[in-house]
Chain A
């Protein structure tokens, strides 16, 4: 039996036995649906369902590998042409996926090899570190650390942007663990639904801090002297001054040095900054004096420093997802075809404590095939699978051609990720 045939049956059993997990999203009748089947690498989209039972029935009869619904509402969601769907509006969608940004744990569990020179290594890279080729085969994994970073990003977005700046209420947020490496957030608000792609691009800039103009916010050079932000404003400059103060107060000199190195400052400038810590902290607290005078720091260095701070504050979101008003996102309660984990809907309160790989609340556990009695024999087909940790248990590392008899949910995870095959 092929992986796909097996997994399709397993997924079908889930959709048949746990129908209620497929919860109705708001305005279900106006959403477009999309499915990726097991036998073809295509998306079947432009589908609509008039009620939740028809949708559930569809998933039992055609268990999908991946299942999506639109952030947009249409009067005719199943029309095959986008322009005739009669667009009504679109929820604001934010996708945070560790796939798109660096996390330190990637140096341990992600690896790559160069198809050009066969060189290999660990971590997140764009091109071969030896020959510079872009023909790289990447193998990425995930762990509690990167999922936790992903969660912190979404909480950063909610706690530091959406609630204080945009006044978005908890009941307007539909949060979900994606079933793999991140979180989705859908904001359902009639006014926001009417925002154009251009408007949404402005929101992306706000969340990420891109296109900030430091001069407009109050940072300027005059006669060779640098005048910084005052700390009583309510705009992005306040986020910046708060972040700097926080760094100066709570980070060790080593941590500050690491940050300054990352943004490309020279040794001398780093020493100069560290020596001026107390002076700078006093300036930041003083609202009548804002001469930012650190030896060696000219306008270029300051701007580099501020850009680094902005990057620390901004949220790592998948920008095209937020800008695109015709995007489909994973359906809550459906299964992720690359893990076999459930796309788990969460309230804001639940999100704070949620731990996808070791969740104690049964109704929130995305590992729906968890079983320690039922085991499956599989053969590893990937070069290497790093050691990983799920539900208080360590697995691996595994290597190509290893045959293992392993718990059902782990077998489904490895088969779904296409790093193992069923051993008959």
Chain B
């Protein structure tokens, strides 16, 4: 094996989600899943992988974010492939979200460790190799200072060896919706975005998360057949059942109800505008929603006199839920009496879901008797009031 292919093999053992896995580890990566499961579960040498899988799910269900790294060898590849198969047959978006979140965070810390280790150059090289393997248009340059800020005597310089082509930057960052990753707040020159290794690693974390989420979108019609075939292997079935029971048990801890009520026992979901519904659905699916969506939902629910505990209960389904932090933030927002964002602001933040939900009230507006003309909805709270009024009058969209 040449040096290059040996380096690539090592890279894939550590980061088996890289596209080259199918070329270099063809025999494992392209193996028939049933055969793969039989090979793993009928051979004691693979027991550590199965134990590790159990532990990984358990850690994810506990909402923990740290998982001790595995020795980067072929077992790590099998671990990743087995994880994907289990997620496919579990077919549960909330579980997939939790696993995607944990796996991508573990990946982030592993790359970060390489960058912060004794041999930073090696870390930079590994990061570059990952980008190349992902097919990203990345340029490795002589270290360049591309941004300087000065506050009093504190001069802060951003230096990097990396420039990423803007379309790749957008693919990886546009979902993250925070100001630091917005193109307009980054340095773009001649088609390339200057990016520090830590930020690049964060974008790769997002790539890994999205890649795992894709599992529930592929070949949906085949899930039942696959499950039946795989269940022929009793050891696999036993692991599957264990994970499922663990989930059933754990989800009780953070089960929540989307019963929005400013009147006890009244479900107000049907009154909510699509922007709120979308956020609640994402939370229900266990997705890690952006900070700005959390703020908006908090302000919105507080404006409807939602008790702090109920709001915290809703957020308890997010993968990074921390009760103490959530409690502090919701209470702080309540004290400050912030208003929920207007429709214009939501549009500018890309949180308006009127088109996605084809919501007639949002898109077409309503007829104002006072002004004798069609008016657009300008605020999500007004939407809720109007919807309540329409429903009380028996009007429907």
Measured CB to CB, the residues of A under 8 A from B are 133-135, 164-168, 191-192, 194-196, 198-199, 201-203, 205-206, 209-213, 216-218, 220, 222, 225, 227, 230, 232-236, 288, 290
B149 contact from A166, A210, A218, Cβ within 8 A: A218
State which residues 261-288 of B face A: CB under 8 Å.
none
B151, B165, B166, B187: the one within 8 Å of A235 (CB): B187
**Cβ contact within 8 Å between B185 and A212:** yes
Which residues of A sit under 8 angstroms from B190, Cβ to Cβ? 164-165, 167
Does residue B167 face the partner (Cβ distance < 8 Å to A)? yes
Bound form: Cα–Cα A192–B171 in Å? 11
- Give the chain A neighbours of B149 by CB distance below 8 A: 218, 220, 227, 230
Provide the residues of chain B in CB contact with A201, threshold 8 Å: 174, 350
The size bracket of the interface on B is 35 or more
A168 proximity list for chain B (CB < 8 A): 191
Q: Which segment of B45-53, B175-183, B306-314 sits at the interface?
A: B175-183
- The proximity string for B residues 119-151 relative to A, scoring 1 for CB distances below 8 Å and 0 otherwise, is 000000000000000000100000000111111
With a cutoff of 8 Å between Cβ atoms, the chain B residues found around residue A290 in the complex are 150
Q: Which of B94-140 contact A (CB under 8 A)?
A: 137
| Contact present for A211 and B348 (CB under 8 Å) | yes
Q: Which residues of A contact B182 (CB under 8 A)?
A: 202, 205, 211, 213
Q: How far is the CB of A130 from chain B (nearest CB, A)?
A: 16
Contact, CB under 8 Å: A236 / B189: no
Q: How far is the CA of A56 from the CA of B187 in the complex (A)?
A: 46
A222 touches B151 (CB 8 A): yes
Which residue on chain A has the smallest CB distance to residue B137?
Answer: A191
Q: Which residues of A contact B194 (CB under 8 A)?
A: 234
Contact across chains for A166 and B166 when beta carbons are under 8 A apart: yes
Contact of A216 among B148, B175, B185 (CB under 8 A): B185
| Residue numbers in B under 8 Å from A206 (CB-CB) | 183-184, 188
Q: Which of B173, B175, B188 has the most CB of A within 10 A?
A: B188
22 contacts between A and B (CB under 8 A): A134-B371, A134-B373, A191-B137, A196-B171, A199-B171, A205-B182, A210-B184, A211-B182, A211-B349, A213-B179, A213-B182, A216-B185, A218-B148, A218-B149, A222-B151, A222-B152, A227-B150, A230-B149, A233-B147, A233-B187, A234-B188, A288-B150
Is B289 part of the contact surface with A, judged by Cβ < 8 Å? no
Residue contact A198 to B147, C-beta cutoff 8 Å: no
**Residues B148 and A191 in contact, CB atoms below 8 Å apart:** no
B186 within 8 A of A: yes
Chain B residue nearest in CB terms to A228: B150
Q: What's the least CB distance linking B175 to chain A, in Å?
A: 7
Of A196, A230, A232, A233, the residue contacting B174 (CB under 8 A) is A196
Task: Specify which chain B residues have a CB less than 8 angstroms from the CB of A235 in the assembled complex.
Answer: 147, 185-188
Contact A195 B170 (CB under 8 A): yes
Residue among A164, A210, A220, A222 making CB contact with B189, cutoff 8 Å? A164
* Least CB distance, A49 to chain B, in whole angstroms: 29
Chain B residues whose CB sits within 8 angstroms of the CB of A205 once the complex forms:
182-184
CA distance A394 to B319 in the complex (A): 69
- Per the bound structure, the CA–CA distance linking A217 and B348 in Å amounts to 20
Q: Could you list which residues of chain B lie within 8 angstroms of chain A, going by C-beta atoms?
A: 137, 146-152, 165-167, 170-171, 173-175, 179-180, 182-192, 194, 348-350, 371-373
Chain B nearest Cβ from A31, distance in angstroms: 22
**Which one of B174, B184, B192 lies within 8 Å of A198 (CB-CB)?**
B174
Q: Total A-B pairs in contact (CB under 8 Å)?
A: 107
Q: How far is the CA of A194 from the CA of B170 in the complex (A)?
A: 11
A234 and B179 contact, CB distance less than 8 A: no
List 3 A-B pairs, minimum CB-CB distance, nearest first. Answer: A167-B191, A218-B149, A199-B170
The chain B residue with its CB closest to the CB of A230 is B148
**Within the assembled complex, what's the spacing in Å between the Cα atoms of A202 and B137?**
19
Q: Which of B165, B183, B192 contacts A191, CB < 8 Å?
A: B165
Task: Give chain B residues whose Cβ lies under 8 Å from the Cβ of A211.
Answer: 179, 182, 184-185, 348-349
A198-B350, A230-B150 known; A236 and B184 CB under 8 Å? yes
Interchain CB contact (< 8 A) of A166 among B148, B152, B187, B191: B191
A165 to chain B minimum Cβ distance, whole angstroms, is: 5
Report chain A residues within 8 Å CB of B180: 213, 216
Beyond the given A134-B371, A167-B191, A233-B146, could you list 17 further A-B residue pairs with CB under 8 A, ordered by the A residue number? A166-B191, A191-B137, A196-B174, A198-B350, A199-B167, A199-B174, A203-B183, A206-B183, A209-B184, A211-B182, A211-B348, A212-B184, A218-B150, A230-B148, A230-B150, A235-B147, A236-B184
**When the two chains form the complex, which single residue of B148, B152, B185 contacts A232, counting CB atoms closer than 8 Å?**
B148
What residues on A are CB-neighbors of B186 within 8 Å? Answer: 235
- Interchain CB contact under 8 A, A213 and B167: no
Nearest chain B residue, comparing its CB with the CB of A221: B151
- Chain B, residue nearest A161 (CB): B188
Whether A202 pairs with B183 at a CB distance below 8 angstroms is yes
In the assembled complex, the CB of B188 is this many whole angstroms from the nearest CB of chain A, namely: 5
Measured between C-beta atoms, what is the minimum distance from A287 to chain B in Å? 8
List the A side residues contacting B349 at CB < 8 Å.
211
With a cutoff of 8 Å between Cβ atoms, the chain A residues found around residue B152 in the complex are 222, 225, 227
**A19–B194 CA distance with the chains assembled, in angstroms:** 48
Residue of B nearest to A288 (CB): B150
Chain B residues with CB under 8 Å of A216's CB are 179-180, 185
- Nearest-CB distance from A384 to chain B (Å)? 25
A202 and B150 form a contact (CB under 8 A)? no
CA distance A198 to B348 in the complex (A): 12
Assembly CA distance A217 to B149 (angstroms): 8
Instruction: Name the residue on B nearest A201 (C-beta).
Output: B350
A210, B175: Cβ atoms closer than 8 Å: no
Measured CA separation A202–B146 after assembly (Å): 21
State whether B150 touches A234 (Cβ < 8 A).
no
Q: In the complex, which residue of chain A has the Cβ closest to the Cβ of B156?
A: A218
Also in contact, A194 and B189, with CB within 8 A (given A202-B184, A218-B148, A218-B149):
no
- Among B167, B185, B187, which residue has its beta carbon within 8 angstroms of that of A195? B167
CB distance from B315 to the nearest CB of A (A): 24
Chain B residues within an 8 Å CB radius of A236: 184-185
Least Cβ–Cβ distance between B307 and chain A, in angstroms: 33
Question: Chain A contacts of B173 at CB under 8 A?
Answer: 202
Residues of B within 8 A of A220 (CB): 149, 151
Nearest B residue to A219, CB-CB? B149
Contact B148 A217 (CB under 8 A): no
Q: Which residues of B contact A164 (CB under 8 A)?
A: 189-190
Q: Which residues of chain A have C-beta atoms less than 8 A from B150's C-beta?
A: 218, 227, 230, 288, 290
Q: Which residues of A contact B170 (CB under 8 A)?
A: 195, 199, 202-203
**Docked pose: A225 CA to B151 CA in angstroms:** 9
Give the distance in Å from the alpha carbon of A198 to the alpha carbon of B174 in the complex: 6
Which residue from chain A places its CB closest to the CB of B145 in the assembled complex? A232
Q: In the complex, which residues of chain B have a beta carbon less than 8 angstroms from the beta carbon of A202?
A: 170, 173-174, 182-184
Docked Cα-Cα span, A256 to B367, in Å, equals: 44
B184 & A234 in contact (Cβ 8 Å cutoff): no
Closest A residue to B186 by CB, please name it.
Answer: A235
CA distance A157 to B350 in the complex (A): 23
Q: Is the CB of A217 within 8 A of B185?
A: yes
A296 to B217, CA, bound (A): 57
**Distance of A70 Cα from B305 Cα, bound (Å):** 47
